[in-house]
Amino acid sequence: MRRWSRVLRTPVGIAGVTMLGLVLLLAVLAPLVWGDHADAVDTDNLLAGPSGQHWIGTDNLGRDLLFRVLVATRLSVALALLATAIGTTLGLLLGVAPLLLGRRVGRLVVAVVNILVAFPGLLLVLFFAVVFGVGTRGAVLAVGVAIAPGFARLVQTFVAGIAERDFVAAARIAGVSRLRIVVRHVLPNIAEPLIVNATITAGGVLLSFAGLSFLGLGVQPPSYDWGRLMQEGLSGIYIHPLAALAPGIAVILAGLAFNLTGEAIAGAFGVSTVTGTADPLPHVPAGETPEGRAAHEGTVRDDLVLDVRDLAVSFPGGVRPVRGVSFGIAAGEALGVVGESGSGKSLTALSIARLVEEPGRVDARRLTFCGTDLLEQADHDELLGTSLAVVFQDPMTSFNPVMRIGTQLAEVGRHHQGLSRRSALARAVDRLAAVRVRDPERRARQYPHEFSGGMRQRAMIGMGLMGSPRLIIADEPTTALDVTVQSQVLELLQGVRREQNAALLLISHDVSVVADVCGRVLVMYAGRIVEDLPTDALRTDARHPYTRALVAAVPDMATALDAPLATIPGQPVDPAHVPAGCAFAARCPIANDRCRTEEPVLRDDGTGHRVACWHTAEEVELLSIGTAGGLDTPSPRGSGYSTTDDGSGYSTTGDGSGYSTTGDGSGYSTTGDGSGYSTTGDGSGYSTTGDGSAGRVASASERIETKAPGEEVAR
């Protein structure tokens, strides 16, 4: 019931339900109250225009049009509801038939429905109008039968979704009869979307019926519905346009009443598509974070390719996935960033590349790349386009599927280096050769789907080499790849870095990958750098408990390959609710009261090794980490934030929100063909938006961050 009240809380819902109530009220009362007025003949006022006596004029017998329009409500609505009832019942039967009748007959039904829905509703209506005969009865049957296939398709889609579920499969295995499965298990689960769609369908039927009567194929005189009134009005449109317009407006309003109500119910029951109003961004002034205070203003090194001070990324609602990160990279240096998903490492990379989109907001005290201040409002496109190379995680989705690889590489040359189309393409081929793509001429003409994953990642690196990169940002460049090609891609990155003397920022959840490639590592936790140390020191001199846990979790040669994967016990911090004090405290085996109240500052020990922990000096028993929480900690999902690390940035817009009648996508499922005829449309078959991305995000969020057997940790 709460959901029903939610219907009434939206403006659309209020408007729809109010209108629908009025329409239904009129349908009941109007003929009783005004029935006689509507038939009263006023011979003094034939075809009269609007007057005090007849507000919107009269027809050719001098009957009052306003009353006639009002009285016609009953017949119009009643016939529409009747036809809808016939159509939806028939559609429901056809829709569940495949489930009831078994596979072979089911296929036939599906095939027939598929053929029928290919025809526009109006054609079906006309066909059946002929078959059932011209007149009210024929028209009701015709419209009813004509909407059945579309509704059946919808039901089939919903049923297909339910039939795959476990409880249906279980019932089937348990030998429950088909009829019972349908009645007890399937129908209750699809009832809501069906009712919503039936409501919207009724709106469409109302319009169809008006059309049929307008053509003279529906209600016959002396009865009249809105369509009939319109037809009578049209013949006199020169003298008296309102006579045709008034019933038309009535049809539209009534149709809208059904549609809006349906949409509102859909919205309340399904996934709301409207994003909440954006909260003002909590703006933490730079320098007020502990790390900011710790960083010394004066020490600006000019050998840095990239210099980042106090970088923060925030989203509306007070979510701050990156909370003050400072570091620099020198030319030719390879710097790794490790951390769990949600640690803010990918967003850090994206914000450096200036790829964080609204409503995400990037603040920093300093952000210079090759000596250029990126925070300045200026056009940095050429610099970033030629000197910054970005390699993304998933090469499968990072190339445009409908453009040739060569073209996609050549674009950089065309737009930033002033190359002609031909020479840009030649350079693209050359670059493909440089990243050891064989037969680059032919490969350049191919589409991404003709490339293997590893090959695509090479091409992506090649794309970065179109210019002369000073910095290569590689965000999990090997995570989506086969183990066999991972090392090749890493080697390629290394080679490119050396050849070009470029800096490399390698983001990974895998400590061993970073340890192989990089000289220095930043360990990130909950949007902060918690430790910054040379890779050599990882095994020997890691001081932060989190770093040590990460390192201890890395399998070494002695580890059995089939040993179970381990995680660090406890859950990563939800960026929307960062606790006071040290963010790691909840998972830290040596946390004390100070840790829980006071946030540790990232301190440099003088050698460049930075740590943010109150207890770095203590030799800690890390034994408890591996054993305390067991191996199967829940995966860090469901915070609503999991999309962020993916770079798409906090997207709750939900425009293709699974439920096909809700989102913006619903427009086409319900309005169907614009003329209002194929009322149920084909929303079912057409759901290309939405869900795909959600699934991808879920799978992309790295569930298990560190791989190792528990014993290893506990040693």
> Which 608-667 positions form the footprint of ligand SF4 (CB under 6 A)?
613-615
**Residues 345-384 interacting with other proteins (rule: CB under 8 A):** 353, 355, 357-359, 380-382, 384
CB 389 within 8 A of CB 467: yes
User: In sequence order, which ranges of 56-135 are alpha helices (DSSP H)?
Assistant: 65-117, 121-132
State the minimum distance, in angstroms, from the CB of residue 705 to ligand SF4. Answer: 17
For the beta carbon of residue 695, count every other beta carbon within 10 angstroms. Answer: 10
- Residue 211 or 600: the one with the smaller Cβ distance to other proteins is 211
Write the DSSP string, 579-610. PSS-TTGGG-TT--HHHHHSPPP-EE-SSS-E
Residue 582 binds ligand SF4, judged by CB under 6 A = yes
Using CB under 6 A, which residues numbered 508 to 547 contact ligand SF4? 544-545
Instruction: Say which entry of other proteins, ligand SF4, none residue 615 contacts (CB below 5 to 8 A, set by partner kind).
Output: ligand SF4
- Residue 34 binds ligand SF4 (CB under 6 A): no
Q: Nearest CA to 167 among 156, 157, 180, 154?
A: 180
430-414-441 Cα angle (round to 5):
30
Question: Which residue number, 146 or 437, has a Cβ lying nearer to other proteins?
Answer: 146
First to last CA, the chain: 56
Query: Is residue 588 at the binding interface for ligand SF4, with CB under 6 A as the rule?
Result: yes
State which residue, 365 or 615, has the beta carbon closest to ligand SF4. 615
Nearer to other proteins, 269 or 392 (CB): 392
Query: Given the rule CB under 8 A, which of 40-48, 105-113, 547-555, 703-711 is the region that contacts other proteins?
Result: 105-113
Shorter beta-carbon distance to ligand SF4: residue 451 or 614: 614
Sign of CA dihedral 534, 540, 542, 546: positive
Residue 595 in contact with ligand SF4, rule: CB under 6 A: yes
Are residues 591 and 582 in contact, defined by beta-carbon separation less than 8 angstroms?
Answer: yes
Asked if residues 492 and 458 have their Cβ atoms less than 8 Å apart, the reply is yes
The DSSP call for residue 315 is E
Interface positions, 200-259, toward other proteins (CB under 8 A): 203, 207, 210-211, 214-217, 230, 233-234, 237-238, 241-242, 244-245, 248, 251-252, 255-256, 259
Q: For residue 575, say if its preceding peptide bond is cis, omega within 30 degrees of 0.
A: no
Q: Does 270 bind other proteins (CB under 8 A)?
A: no
- Which of the choices ligand SF4, other proteins, none does residue 218 contact, using the CB cut-off of 5 to 8 A by kind? none
143 binds, among other proteins, ligand SF4, none (CB under 5 to 8 A by kind): none
552 sits near ligand SF4 (criterion: CB under 6 A): no
- CB of 255 or CB of 527, closer to other proteins: 255
| Angle (CA) 491 568 624, round 5° | 130
- Span near ligand SF4 by CB under 6 A; candidates 507-515, 580-588, 679-687, 698-706: 580-588
**C-beta of 163 vs 550, nearer to other proteins:** 163
Q: Which does 595 bind (CB under 5 to 8 A by kind): other proteins, ligand SF4, none?
A: ligand SF4
Number of residues that bind ligand SF4 (CB under 6 A): 13
- CB nearer ligand SF4, residue 315 or residue 584: 584
Query: How far is CA 711 from each of CA 167, 452, 543, rounded to the nearest angstrom?
Result: 39, 37, 21
Binding flag, residue 600, ligand SF4 (CB under 6 A): yes
How many chain residues interact with other proteins (CB under 8 A)? 115
Selection from other proteins, ligand SF4, none that 164 binds (CB < 5 to 8 A by kind) is other proteins
The CB-of-628 to ligand SF4 minimum distance in angstroms stands at 14
Contacts (CB under 8 A) with other proteins, residues 673-702:
673-678, 682, 684-686, 688-690, 693
Site for other proteins in 176-205 (CB under 8 A): 203
Q: Residue 366: what are its φ and ψ, rounded to 5°?
A: -155, 135
Name 377's Cβ contacts closer than 8 Å, sequence gap at least 6: none
User: Sheet containing 471-475: which strands, arranged edge to edge?
Assistant: 388-391, 471-475, 503-508, 334-338, 520-525, 528-534, 610-611, 603-604
In this structure, are strands 520-525 and 334-338 parallel, antiparallel, or unpaired?
parallel
Helix or strand (DSSP H, E) at 348: helix 345-352
When CB distances are held under 5 to 8 angstroms depending on the partner's kind, the choice from other proteins, ligand SF4, none that residue 600 binds is ligand SF4
Query: Which partner in other proteins, ligand SF4, none is near 169 (CB below 5 to 8 A by kind)?
Result: other proteins
440 scored as a contact of ligand SF4 (CB under 6 A): no
- 469 near other proteins, rule: CB under 8 A: no
Residues 391, 392, 397, 398: is their CA dihedral positive or negative? negative
Question: Of the two residues 540 and 688, which places its CB atom closer to other proteins in the complex?
Answer: 688
Q: What is the C-alpha separation between 676 and 693, in angstroms, rounded?
A: 31
Render 691-706 in DSSP notation, one character per residue. HHHHHHHHHHS-S---
d(CA 331, CA 101): 70
Interface with ligand SF4 (CB under 6 A), residue from 67, 584, 659, 677: 584
CB of 298 to ligand SF4, least distance (A): 27
Residues 6+ apart with CB under 8 A from 204: 147, 255, 259, 670, 671, 672, 676, 677, 678, 679, 680
List, in sequence order, every residue forming a beta bridge with 334; answer none if it has no partner: 504
Q: Segment 272-311, which members bind other proteins (CB under 8 A)?
A: 275, 278
E strand map for 150-206: none
For residue 4, CA distances in Å to 13, 275, 517 come to: 10, 20, 58
Site for other proteins in 127-146 (CB under 8 A): 127, 129-134
> Residues 415, 436, 603, 637: which binds other proteins (CB under 8 A)?
415
**Binding segment for ligand SF4 among 205-213, 216-224, 372-380, 581-589 (CB under 6 A)?**
581-589
- Residue numbers at the binding site for ligand SF4 (CB under 6 A): 544-545, 582, 584-585, 588, 590-591, 595, 600, 613-615
